[in-house]
Amino acid sequence: MTKYIFVTGGVSSSLGKGLTASSLGRLLKSRGFKVTMCKLDPYINVDPGTMNPGEHGEVFVTDDGGETDLDLGHYERFIDESLNRMSNTTTGSIYSNVIAKERRGDYLGRTVQVIPHVTDEIKERIQRLGSQGSQIVIVEIGGTVGDIEIVPFIEAIRQYRRDAGRNNVCYIHLTLVPYLAPSGEHKTKPTQHSVTELRSRGIQPDVIVCRSDQAISDALKRKISLLCDVPIAAVISAVDAPSIYDIPITLHGEGLDTIVMETLDLAPSDYPIDLSIWESVVSHVHSTTRTLKIGVIGKYVAMPDAYLSVAESIRHAGFDHGAKTEISWIDAEKVPTEVGLDAIRQLDGIVIPGGFGERGVEGMIAAAHIARTNNIPLLGICLGMQVMVVEYARNVLGLTDAHSTEFAPTTSNPVIALMEDQHEIVDMGGTMRLGAYPAMLKEGSVVASLYGSTVVSERHRHRYEFNAKFREVFEKAGLSCSGSSPDGRLVEFVEVPDHSFYVGTQAHPEFKSRPQRPHPLFNGLIGSALNRANGREPRIFDFDAVPENSDQSA
Ligand code: GLN
């Protein structure tokens, strides 16, 4: 029988519901369970693909091309499983399905209502996930209890316990226990109010996870236990952790996995925990000896969550090399005016991440130029790779008006263009190339040596591509097209072999980095940056830090 855990949040947003759910997923996986996770998002957008990353954070892409909430990135990194589009559901997607069914006549003329039609649709999504072979499904409900949009979701998960059976469902509620300096104490009132709100919708939480900046005392736990009607062992103190990767260890210390298992009628002693892999991750996190300054040059830097997976990938590779990576968020629009080229020259390594729209592109091109001509390690991701190609065309091939047709539709040198403009066969239309695609790497290339393989698979999210018409001239001038689609038509990787590290990929490698298995390309970037910072020859072939298990080919 599949067990279901529902995680709701109260008091305030941004309490770390996604990280709490992910950490619990890690603990249960470390007890040998097959775990999957999903996020129910109450907003009306059908998926986050259309949402501004500057406001909502990054769009996380799954292997099957789902454009999903960034919490799925935490799930994948913590439970070390690849999820699919089914792991993210929004109000918009629920309603569009219900309305499509109504138009088809599926409801046989009945009045279509939130209860039962919308709630049934929500429950069906959860159930479908549970029928795919996982023993435990963790469902995070986005937003905060009390939000208008959240009501159908709360109602659906309330009904779920009756459908699935009492002992197959556990409700966890995450709240804030603020410390008020003038009175010198932690306050439980917001927690009480939030639990009351949840109860008014028919849900009595089984476990209350209390976020606070300092550990809450046993006396306070007793108070919450009494007022919110949960056992003391079910009041979990979740203090601010030194790093997100410490959270599973902290929550295990508080007994979160034990109380959840007991609620689900699973005997903890039958499933002993093995946290050795995770403990080794955490010990790497805390044993960094050298600080590297890595610049991320993009247009949404005011909201670093817009590049969440990129930042985590940089950190993972840093842990692996014993290096603390200090990320310098550089607004591409301010290069080279407010952020001068000298500041770029001071960086140990650079990432130019993905993006859409023209804002900041010239700054990215200028930064790529500095990296290339000063031997500074650079990893270009998607738009980042396109920018590297444009820079090379302008400054090495001498095609001064070279550009992507995304930004200069009439350029005479469209080195980056829509696929349908390049080939007679239109196989993408105007839509995006989304999800995992295989690529073949050139034998002996920098990328092949990093991946330890010549066949790799990475996730994509873009419309424009390297224009194959220019391939030969680039290759002759020293920009190697080191990876292509299996049919050879699309350029997937470029590199300058005679450089500390100058690698671009049309894909998004950041979606596949895991703390225990850093991504080879980020490892290459950080390894080269470290060698260079230590005054060693920065050629990536000189370092031996690529982990044995670094083959990310699918
Ligand atoms: N805007 C570019 C394209 O559509 C790059 C997209 C991205 O970086 N994800 O091809």
Residue 499 pLDDT > 70: yes
Q: Give pTM, 2 decimals.
A: 0.93
58 neighbors 308 (Cβ within 8 angstroms) = yes
> Residue 28 Cα, ligand 1 centroid: separation in angstroms?
37
3-state secondary structure labels for all residues of 328-355: EEEEHHHCCCCCCHHHHHCCCEEEECCC
> How many residues would you count in the chain?
554
Give the N- to C-terminal CA distance of the chain in Å, as an integer.
Answer: 30
Ligand 1 pocket check for 307: Cβ under 6 Å: no
Asked if residue 464 has its Cβ within 6 Å of ligand 1, the reply is yes
| pLDDT at site 248 | 98
- Mean pLDDT across the chain: 93
Q: How far is CA 303 from CA 56, 153, 169, 327, in A?
A: 9, 28, 36, 13
**Ligand 1 neighbour 382 (Cβ under 6 A):** yes
Share of the chain above pLDDT 90, in %: 87
**pLDDT number for residue 420:** 66
**406 CA: nearest ligand 1 atom:** 1
- The model's pLDDT over 109-168, given as tens digits with 9 standing for 90+, comes to 999 999 999 999 999 999 999 999 999 999 999 999 999 999 999 999 999 999 999 999
Given a cut of 60, is residue 454 above it in pLDDT? yes
Nearest CA to ligand 1 atom 10: 464
Q: Which of 548, 522, 378, 320 is nearest to 453 (CA)?
A: 548
Report, as residue numbers or ranges, the catalytic residues.
382, 508, 510
Q: Catalogue the long-range contacts made by 531-539 (C-beta closer than 8 Å, 24 or more residues apart).
A: 531/500, 532/348, 532/375, 532/376, 532/377, 532/500, 533/290, 533/292, 533/348, 534/290, 538/375, 538/377, 538/500, 538/501, 539/500
Task: Return d(Cα 487, Cα 489) in angstroms, integer.
Answer: 6
| 207: phi then psi, degrees, rounded to nearest 5 | -135, 140
With a 6 Å cutoff on the Cβ, whether 406 touches ligand 1 is yes
Q: How far is the CA of 382 from the centre of ligand 1 (A)?
A: 6
Give Cα 14 distance to the centre of its chain. 16
For 450-470, the three-class secondary structure string (H helix, E strand, C coil) is HHCCCEEEEEEEECEEECHHH
CA of 381 to the centre of ligand 1 (A): 9
Pocket test for ligand 1, best of 463, 465, 510, 511 (most atoms within 8 A of CB): 463
The average pLDDT across 281-306 equals 93
| Cβ 197 under 6 angstroms from ligand 1 | no
393 CA to centre of own chain: 32
Q: Is the CB of 356 under 6 A from ligand 1?
A: yes
* Residue 428 pLDDT greater than 80, yes or no: no
Q: Are 248 and 27 in contact (CB under 8 A)?
A: yes
Q: Is the CB of 462 under 6 A from ligand 1?
A: yes
> Lowest-confidence range among 284-298, 324-338, 527-541?
527-541
CA of 220 to the centre of ligand 1 (A): 50
Query: Does the structure show a pLDDT above 60 at 58?
Result: yes
Which amino acid, residue 495? E
The rounded Å distance from CA 465 to ligand 1 centre is: 9
Q: Best mutation site among 364, 382, 422 for ligand 1, i.e. most ligand atoms within 8 A of its Cβ?
A: 382
pLDDT tens digits along 234-291 = 999 999 999 999 999 999 999 999 999 999 999 999 999 999 999 999 999 998 889 9
Sign, Cα dihedral of 384, 389, 393, 396: positive
Using a 6 Å cutoff on CB, does residue 299 contact ligand 1?
no
